[in-house]
């Protein structure tokens, strides 16, 4: 694929610069050493997003960058486009951002005061939502919807979690009961809920920290959703750490200084976020390490579901 990366880089006028594979996950990413600074050349997973969806993602990111929210800036090709296609492969180019990922679940690498950081993070999440609400989206803007149907409908965005093959019969029955209860709870609240564009995947791995600047990366799953879902995505990964209550309070305080937080909605969104991971891993069970990830996703979903049903 190295040769294909070089051909793709040439579409941005970067045909004779150092190029190195940086990541091979959902997307394949190369680091391109452009004369004016490094770039991230992304080959998108085939079939995951339409070209219109990717164009919308990049338009959104360009807007956020122009309003000084730290995100990678899309770079136009020689032809003036944010996204190009070659051999049926969608490819784009972004600025390579400084800083390091904050670590895996429960970690906040490089952070001394974890609660103070979460307060800062909450404020930046609110800024993302403020800017997105004030933006007039371009005609044809298309992104997935993390709405009631996308979370609990017959065809959720990340799959029918209740059909995971590793669930026991009793667990499947329980999750179907939870699904019905959650759908009723969301149905009672959705009319008054804060709904709009969200990143939808603000895990610690998708944030870069350089000691002062926090950069949001990987907008692959960004779309329309409930704003508490944004906070829930981060919080779910910390629910087992000793300082969870302090981190949750600080995140909500930071966010709440600019926008309202419905704590009951947040609890519901933490549940729904946990359920989505069971659906997500269901279609990736043949990947390396999927067995452990699947067991963890099921265990977490069942724990969160039992707590939520009891409350």
What is the DSSP code string of 38-102?
A: EEEEEEPPTTTS-HHHHHHHHHHHHHHHHTT---PPB---TTS-SEEEETTEEEEEEEPPPSEE-
Half-sphere exposure of 36 (CA within 13 A, CB side): 6
Domain ranges of the chain: 2-97, 101-310
Q: Which fold has domain 2-97?
A: Phosphorylase Kinase; domain 1 (3.30.200)
Pairing mode, strands 83-86 and 214-216? unpaired
Digit-by-digit pLDDT tens for the chain (311 residues) are: 788 999 999 999 998 899 999 988 889 999 999 999 999 999 999 889 999 999 999 999 999 999 999 999 999 999 999 999 998 899 999 999 999 999 999 999 999 999 999 999 999 999 999 999 999 999 999 999 999 999 999 999 999 999 999 999 999 999 999 999 999 999 999 999 999 999 999 999 999 999 999 999 999 999 999 999 999 999 999 999 999 999 999 999 999 999 999 999 999 999 999 999 999 999 899 988 999 999 999 999 999 999 999 98
- Please state, in angstroms and rounded to a whole number, the distance separating the CA atoms of residues 126 and 260: 9
Q: Please, are residues 28 and 40 in contact by the beta-carbon 8 Å criterion?
A: no
| Other Cβ atoms within 10 Å of 225 Cβ, number | 27
- Residue 274, judged by CB atoms within 10 A of its CB (0-12, 13-18, 19+), counts as buried
Superfamily holding 101-310: Aminoglycoside phosphotransferase (APH), C-terminal lobe (3.90.1200.10)
What are 74-91's pLDDT values in tens digits? 999 999 999 999 988 999
Question: In what order do the strands lie in the sheet containing 37-43?
Answer: 19-24, 28-34, 37-43, 89-95, 83-86
What are 6-57's pLDDT values in tens digits? 999 999 999 889 999 998 888 999 999 999 999 999 999 988 999 999 999 9
Contacts of 254 (CB under 8 A, 6+ apart): 118, 119, 120, 121, 122, 123, 124, 125, 126
User: Could you give the residue ranges of the DSSP H alpha helices within 191-289?
Assistant: 227-236, 244-256, 263-282
Give this prediction's pTM.
0.96
Q: Tell me, rounded to whole angstroms, the distance of Cα 19 from its chain centroid.
A: 26
Q: Tell me, rounded to whole angstroms, the distance of Cα 310 from its chain centroid.
A: 29
Q: Locate tokens 């996204």: which residue? A: 83
- Please state, in angstroms and rounded to a whole number, the distance separating the CA atoms of residues 274 and 229: 11
């Amino acid at each position: 694929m190295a040769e294909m990366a070089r051909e793709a880089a040439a579409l941005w006028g970067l045909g004779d610069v150092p190029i190195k594979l940086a990541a091979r996950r959902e997307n394949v990413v190369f680091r391109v050493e452009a004369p004016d600074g490094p770039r991230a050349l992304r080959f998108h997973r085939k079939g995951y997003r339409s070209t219109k969806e990717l164009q919308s993602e990049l338009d959104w990111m360009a807007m956020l960058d122009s309003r000084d929210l730290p995100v990678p800036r899309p770079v136009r090709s020689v032809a003036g486009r944010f996204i190009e296609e070659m051999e049926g492969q969608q490819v784009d180019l972004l600025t390579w951002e400084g800083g390091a990922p904050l670590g895996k679940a429960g970690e906040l690498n490089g952070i001394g005061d974890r609660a103070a950081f979460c307060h800062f993070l909450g404020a930046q999440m609110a800024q993302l939502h403020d800017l997105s609400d004030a933006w007039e989206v371009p005609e044809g803007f298309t992104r997935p919807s993390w709405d009631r149907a996308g979370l609990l409908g017959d065809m959720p965005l990340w799959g029918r979690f209740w059909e995971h093959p590793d669930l026991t019969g009793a667990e499947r029955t329980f999750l179907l009961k939870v699904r019905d209860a959650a759908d009723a709870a969301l149905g009672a609240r959705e009319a008054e809920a804060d709904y709009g564009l969200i990143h939808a995947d603000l895990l610690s791995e998708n944030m870069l920290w350089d000691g002062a600047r926090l950069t949001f990366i990987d907008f692959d799953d960004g779309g329309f959703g409930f704003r508490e879902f944004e906070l829930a995505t981060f919080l779910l990964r910390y629910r087992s750490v000793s300082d969870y209550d302090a981190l949750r309070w600080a995140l909500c305080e930071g966010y709440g200084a600019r926008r309202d937080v419905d704590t009951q909605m947040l609890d519901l969104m933490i549940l729904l976020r946990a359920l989505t991971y069971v659906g997500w891993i269901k279609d990736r069970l043949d990947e390396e390490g999927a067995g452990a990830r699947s067991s963890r996703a099921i265990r977490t979903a069942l724990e969160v579901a039992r707590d939520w049903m009891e409350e």
